[in-house]
Amino acid sequence: MTNIELDLKQIINLKQYPIDNEIFIRSCENELDQKGVLTLPNFINNQTLLELVNEAKVNQFKAYYAKSTHNIYLTEIDNKLPPDHIFNYQVVSSKGCITTDQIPENSKLKSIYGSTLFKNFLAKVVKEKNIYEYSDPFSSINIHYANDTQELGWHFDNSNFAITLLLQKPKAGGEFEYVKNTRNLEKNDMGYNSVSEIIHQKKNPTKLDIQPGTLVLFRGKNSMHRVTPTIGETTRMLVVFAYNSKPGISLSKSAQKTFFGRTSDDIK
């Protein structure tokens, strides 16, 4: 066992979540398949949670805040479709973000993210052979901050799976809402009717009540989701652990600029 793996015992609740146990892994895989989402409450212990909240607060001043308008499919507008077509419907996202290079080297977030045990667990649950960190200095671990009124608008993810760890929950709002299998990208089904029903409030999404310390695995490629506006002065703080199914992948420079306000060229 490496030091990182030894450290993991002091970070993750391995008694409740034996992440190297094949039966446990299988049960996680099944739950993710069935629900499209897997939540593991108290994944990290209370001491670690306190430490990580503190660390996130200390580094919040470094956050790059951006407000953007985008469609639910995270693409450019399609001018061949009418402006009022649901494909072209615009929503707002506004949040702050700090990047891997802005998180201390000795942060427990880096111990978790880089741990072989953790990566093997995730890979099996999401049915990937292996998972790899990003090659650029920004994208692997991000902390998102949503202050009063900030939100993440309805969208489908580009990635096959997402892994998040909630650190701090606002007094109200900041709720994760989703609709399982709204579209089927593989079958070219854009899900216009379902998307439209949600947007026009003819159908209700599923709400996920997540407490701080919870690890969430989510398949957001075909399930539209959003985070409702934060209400009140307590910031929603959430860690995103991002991996690829192939090594050596960087986020494009233009995406770096959009998400982080700078590119890897700026820090050389």
Ligand X SMILES: O=C(O)CCC(=O)C(=O)O
Output the smallest distance, CB 179 to ligand X, in A. 13
E strands, 78-214, where?
A: 90-98, 141-146, 152-155, 162-168, 172-173, 176-179, 206-208
Contacts of 27 (CB under 8 A, 6+ apart): none
CB nearer to Fe ion: pick between 31 and 157: 157
Interatomic CA distance for residues 240 and 96, integer angstroms = 13
Output the smallest distance, CB 32 to ligand X, in A. 16
The conformation of residue 194, written as its DSSP 8-state character, comes to: H
Position 177 contacts Fe ion (CB under 5 A): no
Output the smallest distance, CB 18 to Fe ion, in A. 28
- Site residues for Fe ion, 195-224, by CB under 5 A, read 220
- How many C-beta atoms surround the C-beta of residue 1 within 10 A? 10
Interatomic CA distance for residues 107 and 103, integer angstroms = 7
CB nearer to ligand X: pick between 119 and 144: 144
Output the smallest distance, CB 207 to ligand X, in A. 12
- Dihedral Cα 225, 136, 145, 71, nearest 10 deg: -30
Take residue 26 and report the two structure tokens written for it. 């299988």
List of residues contacting ligand X (CB under 6 A):
144, 152, 157, 162, 164, 176, 220, 225, 227, 238, 240
Residue 227 binds which one of Fe ion, ligand X, none, with CB within 5 to 8 A depending on kind? ligand X
CB nearer to ligand X: pick between 25 and 179: 179
Residue 93 binds which one of ligand X, Fe ion, none, with CB within 5 to 8 A depending on kind? none
CB nearer to Fe ion: pick between 19 and 162: 162
Residues that bind Fe ion (CB under 5 A): 157, 220
